[in-house]
Amino acid sequence: MKVTVIMEKASDGNYSCYVDDNLPGFGLAGFGKTAESAKDDMLKAYQEMKEILSAEGKEVPNLEFIYKYDMQSFFNYFSFLNVTKVAEFAGINPSLMRQYTSGVANAGEKQYAKIKDAVCKISKELSAATF
């Protein structure tokens, strides 16, 4: 079962993630100081839920997670990406991009589209690369 996980940075500086789809008999969320720790917390909760439901004799769906990030959680989780280089690749001012990733400014729809296209291109280039 494919489910969408929303990853986002909270106003208190921490990160959260939650399954945006209806799950049979339970919900799923995670929290942490980083996007990675929030994801790990959610996956731990999923394992615990599987154990609890299994012990009750209930069937637990196997979930395939599709992650949807806000700008801050994306660059926090994929911290190895150079924000300045991604901005240049997207045709966006690097200083403005750093404001987006820190949450000081919010990207508009057109800017999000540019960043999304750039990340997709980077992803395709990486998947085609070999050593």
Per-residue pLDDT of 83-127, as tens digits, reads: 999 999 999 999 999 999 998 999 999 999 999 999 999 999 989
Per-residue pLDDT of 12-45, as tens digits, reads: 999 999 999 988 888 999 999 999 999 999 999 9
Q: Are 30 and 41 in contact (CB under 8 A)?
A: yes
With a CB cutoff of 8 Å and minimum separation 6, the contacts of 33 are: 13, 14, 15
CATH number of 2-69: 3.30.160
What's the mean pLDDT when you consider all of the chain? 93
Domain with CATH 3.30.160 in the chain: 2-69
Query: How large a percentage of the chain has pLDDT more than 90?
Result: 82
User: How many residues appear in the chain?
Assistant: 131
pLDDT at site 24: 84
Q: Which amino acid, 50?
A: K
